[in-house]
Amino acid sequence: MLTFTLRRLLLAIPTLLFISLIIFLLVDLAPGSPMSEIPLTVPPEVRQKMIAALGADQPVFVRYILWLRQFFWVEPAYLLDGWFGTDLAGDQQRILSWQSRSPVFTVIGQRIPQTLTVIGTAYLVGILIAVPIGIYSAYRQYSLFDQLGTFVAMIGFSVPTFFTGTLFIIIFAVWLGWFPTKYDTTLEVTDWASFIRQMQQMAMPVMVLGLANAAAISRYMRSSMLENMGQDYVRTARAKGMTERTVVLKHVLRNSMIPVVTVIALGIPSIFGGAIITENLFGVNGIGAALIGAIHASDLPMVQTLAFIFAVLIVGFNLIADILYGFLDPRIRYD
Amino acid sequence: MRDTQAAPLVQVEGLKMYFPVHTGILRRHTGNVKAVDDVSFAIHQGETLGLVGESGCGKSTVGRALLRLYEPTAGRVVIDGEDIATLSHEALRRKRPTMQMVFQDPQASLNPRMSLSAIIAEPLTEHTKLTAAQRQNRVYELMDQVGLNRRFANRFPHEFSGGQRQRIGIARALALNPKLIVCDEPIAALDVSIQAQVVNLLEDLQDTLGLTYLFISHDLSMVRHIADRVAVMYLGRIVELSPRDDLYARPLHPYAEALLSAVNEPDPDRAKTRKRILLKGDLPSPANPPVGCNFCTRCPKVFARCLTEKPALVQVEPGRQVACHLFETIHPATGSTGGSEAKEHLQHGVTQ
């Protein structure tokens, strides 16, 4: 298992380097740059200085190599300095946002807690709803409950979050007045009352995203359960005289969780990615909103760094899913 | 050993297993697949009853309905004094230790995520009050009994060969000291060299533990080796139920005759003189069986009565039961069936 993990980590290095190059080039070569937004009234030599100050006058490969060095060397050094009070980084240049002129990682550090609380909770809620629904739907296939579950899942699948989100805002915020229409990022949970307020403002984005997540996961869970329900070993368990509870929750569920756990693990990077649309709709000032803002402002370092972080997370969770698979399924051994 | 003339361990009366067919837009119930249609037989303590027939004749369904792994449509299945078919689910679960099954596919019938020792010990945790150490001892004991090395206790099913897996399946079935074991084609998925080992193991276990088997197979020579009496099935019904030696020496029912003529003869000289009875046509659909005798579409000895009336399974010779109009006319005394839907009362005859 350890050798497998190490081998996969080594293999991840060229993969990530390749991805970083693609991302860098894609973002860089795409039309639109902050330079094009400098008014034409600015004299050419001033304009040249402004471009040079951003480092944008260098050829693309020089900038790529510099960015790589900043991402893999300078930024971790700053991180360690921050943790242990060392002085590894000196005063080397960090990756700076062209929008705010502040380090990209500082912005990410400010935004990520919002995203994790809201989107992370939504994902968790989605799983908690989806797994029992999937199990029971499969156990009572074609029952009223199953039909209803299928119907709700279809809605979750086919209705986009910007529609359900708007609908939720109209119904629960405007008509019923239960929840605030906008998420207040500055709210700090200090006492019971503010905790209630936090719950209230989280309710709608969490439900909107939770429904979308639950739709997909419950379908995976149901089909995986159904597949295992018909297996011979389930009949064996019944013939042994096990209770239905043991048969379903021990024999069938444990085997059915294998593919579902993989799906869940592979979905985790999307939490960090933030749900761009939902964050914008409810005004959650998270990482997804940061990405959209950076794209609008042609803030290339910010977009490149965020996109690359998502790539790292996806590669990382792929590896985690594979390792989990090995733990869950004794037939798979990595050595 | 108990007196075998006492009440049989298993008594099946009029067992029917219909699977409903739904068709059309409204999924209306339009018919039934009559997988098992009015089957009656008895198995005595310590006996092996062979159940043979071609694929799709309903022999596995009989085995599963017998242990109520399917809910039978009709009929009584009395095992060890209790009617399995009408027990409540909880009572049935408590009853399961007396009746176990060895399944056809030893790979699929073992949970891939459980170790050998967990598979064998699971019924012990459910049905006995043994401590963990006692359970482990019992697992080792069972592994010894079926010839599995104790070192394998923590391995998973995929790490074993087919024959070893079937041994796990047998050990699992034995764990709770059952009286009856239904062997559902236990050797069909195994290599020929392994088949003999497993069958011999089953025989040894029968001798030492006094087990009763229902041995379902399509392998006629293997059934000849292990069974005391043999029931031949065709399209959901038993056509002949006879002691093994009588059946193999002189099959009565035309289908049994045709089936047994298909057994390969290892001696080439005798094989030359062997008469093969080749049946024409295909097996009728069990969803739409013939009105008369189920075999009338392919029977070489068919006559007018066969097309209109279903023959009942009646005793035609001591210990031999046949469902065929040919024999009813010869033995009118036993053949008064009173029409096609006559209830077949079981006549469990003499046992060896």
List the single range of A184-188, A313-317, B287-291, B312-316 with lowest mean pLDDT.
A184-188
Nearest by CB to B101, which of A231, A239, A329?
A: A239
Kindly list the residues from chain A whose CB atom is less than 8 angstroms away from the CB atom of residue B100: 239-240
Closest alpha carbon to B280 in B305, B306, B255, B307: B255
Name the residue with tokens 């359970």.
Answer: B135
pLDDT tier at A335, thresholds 50, 70, 90: low
CB spacing of A331 vs B158 below 8 angstroms = yes
Apex B232 CA angle, B230 and B233, nearest 5: 140
Higher pLDDT, B17 or A33: B17
Q: Is A254 on the interface with B (CB under 8 A)?
A: yes
pLDDT tier at B330, thresholds 50, 70, 90: low
Indicate which of B111, B127, B152 best probes the interface with A, i.e. most A CBs within 10 Å of its own CB: B111
The beta strand positions in chain B, using DSSP E, are 10-23, 28-43, 48-52, 74-79, 82-83, 99-102, 180-184, 212-216, 229-234, 237-243, 314-317, 320-322
Q: Are B242 and B228 in contact (CB under 8 A)?
A: no
Q: Are B229 and B50 in contact (CB under 8 A)?
A: yes
Higher pLDDT, B343 or B33: B33
pLDDT tier at A73, thresholds 50, 70, 90: confident
pLDDT tier at A206, thresholds 50, 70, 90: very high
Q: Percent of chain B scored above 90 by pLDDT?
A: 46
Q: Is A330 on the interface with B (CB under 8 A)?
A: yes
Nearest by CB to A233, which of B97, B101, B110?
A: B110
Please state, in angstroms and rounded to a whole number, the distance separating the CA atoms of residues B42 and B144: 32
Q: Are B307 and B340 in contact (CB under 8 A)?
A: no
Kindly list the residues from chain A whose CB atom is less than 8 angstroms away from the CB atom of residue B112: 233, 255, 329-331
pLDDT tier at B346, thresholds 50, 70, 90: very low
Q: Is A141 on the interface with B (CB under 8 A)?
A: no
Torsion of CA B4, B9, B14, B20, to 10 degrees: -150
Mean pLDDT of B195-214: 91
Q: Is A245 on the interface with B (CB under 8 A)?
A: no
Q: Chain A: give the shortest CA distance to residue B171, in Å.
A: 12
Q: Are B243 and B322 in contact (CB under 8 A)?
A: no
CB spacing of A231 vs B101 below 8 angstroms = no
Per-residue model confidence (pLDDT) at position B119: 92
Closest alpha carbon to A198 in A176, A183, A178: A183
CB spacing of B172 vs A242 below 8 angstroms = no
Q: Give, rounded to a whole angstrom, the gap between the first and last alpha carbons of chain B.
A: 15
Q: Are A5 and A319 in contact (CB under 8 A)?
A: yes
Q: Domains for chain A: give ranges and CATH numbers.
A: 19-105 (no CATH), 106-328 (1.10.3720.10)
For the sheet with B99-102, list strands across it: B99-102, B180-184, B212-216, B48-52, B229-234, B237-243, B320-322, B314-317
Is the pLDDT at B341 greater than 60, yes or no? no
Kindly list the residues from chain B whose CB atom is less than 8 angstroms away from the CB atom of residue A233: 108-112
Per-residue model confidence (pLDDT) at position B43: 94
Please state, in angstroms and rounded to a whole number, the distance separating the CA atoms of residues B344 and B349: 14
Model ipTM? 0.77
Mean pLDDT of B114-135: 91
Q: A150 burial class (0-12, 13-18, 19+ CB within 10 angstroms)?
A: middle
Q: Is A231 on the interface with B (CB under 8 A)?
A: yes
Q: A234 burial class (0-12, 13-18, 19+ CB within 10 angstroms)?
A: buried
Q: Chain B: give the shortest CA distance to residue A326, in Å.
A: 11
Mean pLDDT of A125-140: 93
Q: Chain A: give the shortest CA distance to residue B133, in Å.
A: 21
Q: Percent of chain B scored above 70 by pLDDT?
A: 91
Q: Are B339 and B35 in contact (CB under 8 A)?
A: no
Please state, in angstroms and rounded to a whole number, the distance separating the CA atoms of residues B229 and A301: 84
Is the pLDDT at A200 greater than 60, yes or no? yes
Q: Are strands B48-52 and B314-317 parallel, antiparallel or unpaired?
A: unpaired
Chain B positions contacting chain A at CB under 8 Å are: 64, 67, 69, 93-97, 100-101, 103, 105, 108-113, 115, 122-123, 126-127, 156, 158, 169, 172, 176
Higher pLDDT, A246 or B345: A246
Nearest by CB to A331, which of B156, B169, B176?
A: B156
Q: What is the pLDDT of residues B49-64, one digit of tens each?
A: 999 988 888 899 999 9
Kindly list the residues from chain B whose CB atom is less than 8 angstroms away from the CB atom of residue A235: 64, 69, 103, 109
Per-residue model confidence (pLDDT) at position B5: 58
Per-residue model confidence (pLDDT) at position A30: 81
Kindly list the residues from chain A whose CB atom is less than 8 angstroms away from the CB atom of residue B105: 232
Q: What is the pLDDT of residues B251-278, one digit of tens each?
A: 999 999 998 888 877 778 877 777 788 8
Tokens of B267: 């001696």
Q: Are B11 and B82 in contact (CB under 8 A)?
A: no
Kindly list the residues from chain A whose CB atom is less than 8 angstroms away from the CB atom of residue B123: 240-242
Beta partners for residue A96, in sequence order? A103
Mean pLDDT of A41-57: 82
Per-residue model confidence (pLDDT) at position B107: 86
pLDDT tier at A230, thresholds 50, 70, 90: confident
Q: Is A328 on the interface with B (CB under 8 A)?
A: yes
Is the pLDDT at A18 greater than 90, yes or no? yes
Please state, in angstroms and rounded to a whole number, the distance separating the CA atoms of residues B62 and B36: 7
Is the pLDDT at A252 greater than 80, yes or no? yes
Closest alpha carbon to A218 in A122, A136, A120: A136
Indicate which of A141, A228, A236, A261 best probes the interface with B, i.e. most B CBs within 10 Å of its own CB: A236
Is the pLDDT at B340 greater than 60, yes or no? no
Q: Are strands B82-83 and B99-102 parallel, antiparallel or unpaired?
A: unpaired
Kindly list the residues from chain A whose CB atom is less than 8 angstroms away from the CB atom of residue B110: 233, 236
CB spacing of B96 vs A331 below 8 angstroms = no
Backbone angles phi, psi at B346, to 5 degrees: -75, 135
pLDDT tier at A56, thresholds 50, 70, 90: confident
CB spacing of A241 vs B108 below 8 angstroms = no
Is the pLDDT at A168 greater than 80, yes or no? yes
Q: B89 burial class (0-12, 13-18, 19+ CB within 10 angstroms)?
A: exposed
Indicate which of A229, A234, A240, A243 best probes the interface with B, i.e. most B CBs within 10 Å of its own CB: A240
Kindly list the residues from chain B whose CB atom is less than 8 angstroms away from the CB atom of residue A257: none
The mean predicted confidence, pLDDT, of chain B is 86
List the single range of A93-97, A312-316, B68-72, B140-144 with lowest mean pLDDT.
A93-97
Q: Is A255 on the interface with B (CB under 8 A)?
A: yes
In chain A, which residue's Cα lies nearest the Cα of B94? A241
Q: B251 burial class (0-12, 13-18, 19+ CB within 10 angstroms)?
A: buried
Please state, in angstroms and rounded to a whole number, the distance separating the CA atoms of residues A314 and A250: 31
Please state, in angstroms and rounded to a whole number, the distance separating the CA atoms of residues A295 and A98: 11
